[in-house]
Chain A
């Protein structure tokens, strides 16, 4: 362990040892380490196998762009999580991590066989090969691919942790706590703006924080020291909120942003104490300053994926921030100056390092500095091969030809245990593009940079294409001043010293003496796609970057191509001979880094997943052993089993009781809309199909509501409470939508009507008592009231009082029985129910649920909107012509009732069905056919409601059948999986066609 921990830094406390497990082996790291830095300090580079070829892969970077070091953590616990980047996990005592995508182990991987057959796995291999034979797919290919290419394991148990959401508003949101973010935050907060700064690492300072080089100074201090002082001052500012361990996930329109804060992921499991694990911040910012920095690019050459090949700036961070040298014998391969900072840093600590540079020269200060330190530099050279199976042990280099398109001269072999690579820098423009911003291509740096036309956000620092320290500080200061309309800042006269990069050169795919077909030059490390795959896709005719990407899967792994997109574009441009700027880019979509499901759903789990609505009578139902069903958000009693009665037996008993003596139903969930205003009658005329003007005060009427397309939308009974006052009821599920629809017409089409709508569904509880003894029960509840048919006829309403509490009594029926509904203020609902049960005791009043209600109404042939209709049924299809007024000039949907389509007589129409065997019950949803001989068999309809009727002692069903109206008496067939059921079309009213029972 000491061997690689070569440096003492203030960020890692080398007095505090932390033990952890990786792939079943115990290791030690220190407080302040990431899993990756701790592994590297132990000399562990090999951390996984690649997706397709199962090639050994090592840690490559130090941040969210990491393609290889992807782990499963805390396996075998409820908290296990796949696809976690070792470069982002803060080390804690007892952490258990394991490599993914290798079996049986990372060191001996059977899937590695793919590597040897890799010439046979070109781009699109999966598409091409696994298409045929067809039945091989399900049985052989898919399980094989799933088994060999799994990316981690999902937890199998419910997530035990808490997640939270927080909504915030601010004047300025700054994304990224590097040098530009810090400058921007300070300017914003000092100018009285409510500012939030978010940073995904656990400390601020970005890559400046570990900078200590003579060539980079701010106000005569090392830039690292300068930023330390700035951070200390920043923390004192009142109107600045700093959120570390918080990564921006998504940047939506109108400056609405989502950020995920990690609260307890860095703590040992036993110290988390059930606190909140992650919090999703939902931020609406007036202005946004993006300072997300840049990602270092790899270089693309043969066998560029071995463990020990890492990004150069990451090697520097491991050394200067974590104190870990990734190798003891380093080679750095670069096309730019920034890699020389790494070289100088290594050399200053006495660690061996050599440089390979594709450029012919560089006259910058930092390069001179390296030369003075005696670092050997191979100019105009490229790596052509690398060696070492589980870790790199040597490389081969050659000189580049004059134009850089080929290699010349002899191969030189150099031994090394770490190859740092640097292909320049790619600004992280993800946030800018997510917000809808466009990009421009900058030829000199071969990068896309933000094209700012939006007024409410700017990009500063290296995400805006400023790579030199001086540019970063001065441009950030200038831009932020303009953006926030500030005239003077403390950064106006900052003196900056930095080495300037004078010579730039880039080759997207480095040349080789080995033929292209035999090179494995990886572009997308996680998805294992190579330069060869891209070229093959182009040869096969793919032109658009979006197509090439999907065909080769480049940039489609969990890292979304943070390291690979630019090379893919570059190689396409070079191969096709076009300018890179003309190709466009692929779309960056949120989230920037993966979000946990937990953070997305927050507290909306278990009881908080959805609202549960219970009537005020609910407790009585529970006490009565009710089984409940969900109707929209409502819990409605489904049936009330006695002892171990099942659904069927309970419903048979309840149905019989309701028709033979008395039943009681909680009807509180029906939607209720209070309608008032001088035009209330006219309004009802326009929304219902039947006429309302002549309905007397105190009378009730059933109404059918259509959509403008003529299809049945809702139904219910409306009562006229006064001259300008109605109470409308709707279906339970339709209540909210009906109110919205009526409001829409009132506000937009008929603003001249004097009508006011109020939802009163929750205000009243309703007990519905039906059966031949219901009148006697009502008489007991309201002894002073005359319940004779003359004084209180069917379809009328009266006010009443129980214990001085006002009630509305409606004599209406959904069962075909003599029936009353008592409405009372909700707070008295429970007591009303208890009184009804008490009064009904001598008649064996039986509570019944929704299932019995459905059966009873089906016996009477009453429809349920949404069960017997599906948005394609007109009232005429339902054989309800009687409710459609011929006299009214207009109502919603009227004109559609005689469109050419709605007057077809071969539409599906509602009929009754009787099974030839009266004890055979049809399945709801079953298809209906008439002719089995002609193939394909025509399906002419389906069953919508089906029950065994205890009152008729036979099976009954409602169905919709093409031209059904004309089919009465005709034999049809309901084919089931193992038999064909013979049925006869009947009338849809099965019981009491003469309506005698309503006045019984």
Chain B
């Protein structure tokens, strides 16, 4: 079980968090102007990397804040956590 450093609360057990999948997928501002394929790209296509991955996490049983995490899925090493809206760190 990971120990996750919530940017608002500090280190907490993984059981307090939920994972929200790949980070930095921005909801299109003008969906109506997108083709079916472009919309499907936003809607369905997610990476599933073996290695360093950028993820959304929510401190669901804590402050309820969403934030981003950089995690290596091959060894579960968490390289960084950062708030929504902040620039992703270079890993």
Which A residues have a C-beta under 8 Å from some C-beta of B? Answer: 252-254, 256, 284, 436, 708-709, 740, 743-744, 747-749, 751, 889-890, 894-896, 899-900
Contact mask for chain B residues 1-23; partner A; CB cutoff 8 A; 1 contact, 0 none: 11100000000010000001000
Contact of A894 among B1, B13, B32, B76 (CB under 8 A): B32
Distance in Å: Cβ of B83 to nearest Cβ of chain A: 10
Which residues of chain A come closer than 8 Å to B75, judged between CB atoms?
Answer: 436
Distance (Å) between the CB of A250 and the closest chain B CB?
10
**CA–CA, A253 and B14, complex, Å:** 11
Given contacts A256-B3, A748-B56, 19 further A-B contacts (CB under 8 A): A252-B1, A253-B2, A254-B2, A254-B76, A284-B13, A708-B27, A740-B58, A743-B64, A743-B66, A744-B58, A744-B66, A747-B84, A748-B66, A889-B32, A890-B30, A895-B31, A896-B43, A899-B36, A899-B39
Report the Cα distance A972→B28, complex, angstroms.
43
The residues of B that contact A749 with a CB separation of less than 8 Å are 26-27
Cβ B58 vs Cβ A894 within 8 A = no
**Count of CB-CB pairs between chains A and B under 8 Å:** 52
User: Nearest-CB distance from B73 to chain A (Å)?
Assistant: 12
Q: Can you list 15 contacts pairing A with B, beta carbon distance less than 8 Å?
A: A256-B1, A256-B13, A708-B27, A740-B58, A744-B66, A747-B84, A748-B56, A749-B26, A889-B32, A895-B31, A895-B34, A896-B43, A899-B36, A899-B39, A900-B36
User: Are A894 and B2 interface neighbours, CB within 8 A?
Assistant: no
Bound: A751/B65 CA distance, A: 12
Minimum Cβ distance to chain B for residue A144 (Å): 42
Q: Chain B: interface residue count, which band?
A: 20 to 34
Compute how far the CA of A899 lies from the CA of B31 in the bound complex, rounded to whole angstroms.
12
Set of chain A residues within 8 Å of B84, measured between Cβ atoms: 747-748, 751
Chain A residue, CB-CB nearest to B85: A751
Instruction: Kindly state the separation between the CA atoms of A436 and B30 in the bound complex, as whole angstroms.
Output: 45
Residue of B nearest to A454 (CB): B75
| Smallest beta-carbon distance A884→chain B, Å | 14
- In the complex, what's the smallest C-beta–C-beta distance from A281 to chain B, in angstroms? 14
B28 cross-chain contacts in A, Cβ below 8 A? 895
Bound CA span A751–B85, Å: 9
Q: Indicate if the CB atoms of B65 and A747 lie closer than 8 Å.
A: yes
Q: What is the minimal beta-carbon distance from A251 to any residue of chain B, in angstroms? A: 11
- Per-position binary interface string of chain B over residues 33-52, scored 1 when its CB falls under 8 Å from any chain A CB and 0 otherwise: 01010011001000000000
Give the CA-CA distance A709 to B43 in the complex, in Å. 7
Interface centre among A436, A743, A747, A748, by most B CB within 10 Å?
A: A748
Question: Min CB distance, B44 to chain A, in Å?
Answer: 8
Complex formed: what's the CA distance from A749 to B32 in Å? 17
Whether B3 pairs with A254 at a CB distance below 8 angstroms is yes
How far, in angstroms, from A253 to B71 measured CA to CA in the complex? Answer: 13
> Which 5 A-B residue pairs are closest in the complex by CB-CB distance?
A895-B31, A254-B3, A256-B1, A747-B66, A749-B27
Alpha-carbon separation in the docked complex, A896 to B76 (Å) = 35
The answer to whether A254 and B34 have CB atoms under 8 Å apart is: no
Bound CA–CA A743/B75 (angstroms): 30
Residues of B within 8 Å of A890, CB to CB, are 30-32
Q: Is B43's CB under 8 angstroms from A708's CB? A: yes
Interface string of B49-90 (1 = CB under 8 A from A): 000000010101000111000000001100000001100000
* Cα distance A747–B7 in the bound complex, in angstroms: 14
Among B1, B20, B32, B40, max chain A CB count under 10 A is at B1
CB distance from A895 to the nearest CB of B (A): 4
Chain A's closest residue to B38 (CB) is: A895
Contact B76 A253 (CB under 8 A): yes
Name the B residues within 8 Å of A254 (CB-CB): 1-3, 76
Chain A, Cβ-Cβ closest to B67: A747
